[in-house]
Amino acid sequence: MSQPFSILPVTAKIIPKPFTVAIPKEKLTDMETLIRLSKLAPQTYENSQSDMRYGVTTDWLIDMKEQWLQSYNWKTTEDRINSFPQWTAEVEGLNIHYVGLFSQKPDAIPIVLIHGWPGSFLEFLPILDMFRQEYTPASLPYHLIVPSLPGYTFSSGPPLDRNFTTADIARVLDQLMKDLGFESGYIAQGGDIGSRVARGLAVDHESCKAVHLNVCFMGRPQGISDDNLDASEREGIKRMEEFRMMGSGYALEHGTRPSTIGHVLATNPVALLAWIGEKWLEWVDEPLSSEHILESITLYWLTETFPRSIYTYRQNYPTPPIPASNDPRWYIHKPFGFSYFPRELAPLPRSWVETTGNLVFWGQHQKGGHFAALERPDALKADLTKFVEQVWPGVS
């Protein structure tokens, strides 16, 4: 018997393969052995600072390692993932994994939800769960598709014989959506790297009719004065500048030496926990549970995601980097919505963001950080549905 929400629209051009997560016991045992045998760094002044000014602390790493070995249960995560319909489909020779909730309504609106780094499709499961609790397959107003980007989790890695960029990701996802029967139109939503992919879909692909983002990568726009900014907007700009100065070292490493850092973090799960765990601690408004951090790191480790996922950072090095969102080539002429969360890495003023596209919707929030879909799924869901209801009837 098929899962609820698993019947694809009759317009689908492909028959994707149903997918179930089933990690072999031997792989789990190997991971546990590596965790147990992993040596930690000696105590230093830097790793003893409780405010994490120099990165994760020894105490935090010791505690998380113990939880990983003693209380975390991958099977619980696996069961939760498998409670959602999943498939794989071939696009341009890549095997693309995706989670989906498909409606039986003939006028359901297709929406593709696009994650970034160090995230995965896991980020959107809380929102999908809200939708499936609120609706039945017969009443769901949307088709919701959450792909794993090439190189992430259960999707194939990018090709080994040529360069692969966010523009390539956008082309692959556009083809996936058209293959699923949505050539006449769909809406894209994205954060982090997913925001660049979603912007690329809106700019370069006709079938993408509108886009909703919760982060905007851009420089200070020309001709925009800061004189009229309020205190919170000024604080947001300060946060962006502090991140560029003190928090972006990882991106420089990803972009300039992806092979080296890929090899380093592919050898030791506790090293991976330190490198990525730092982001789950620093980039949020309120602390996430240890359970979430461990399941995300475990998923990355078991699927060898890290070395395969950081290729997009190379686009920023050497100069000229990938065009910023306020580059005229990246201007969104289609309906554009944005959700503002104050603890984003770069919580930018509306006056800045609206220079990057035809901004018709703005959602302002008092709480929330970089992982909005995970931290504030109710707020992001509400914004997305309001945006879709506003723009879809007028989309050509």
Residues taking part in catalysis: 192, 313, 370
Residue 350 in tokens:
């509306």
Stated as kind and residue range, the H or E segment containing 359 is: strand 357-364
Tokens 């592919």, residue located: 266
Stated as kind and residue range, the H or E segment containing 131 is: helix 125-134
159 close to 150: Cβ distance less than 8 angstroms: no
CA–CA distance, 338 with 190 (Å, rounded to integer) = 10
Phi, psi of 90 (to 5 degrees): -90, 130
* Strand-pair partners of 186: 208
Classify burial at 15, counting beta carbons within 10 Å of its beta carbon; exposed 0-12, middle 13-18, buried 19 or more.
Answer: exposed
* Strand-pair partners of 72: none
Contacts of 230 (CB under 8 A, 6+ apart): none
CA–CA distance, 50 with 60 (Å, rounded to integer) = 9
Closest CA to 159 of 93, 98, 258: 93
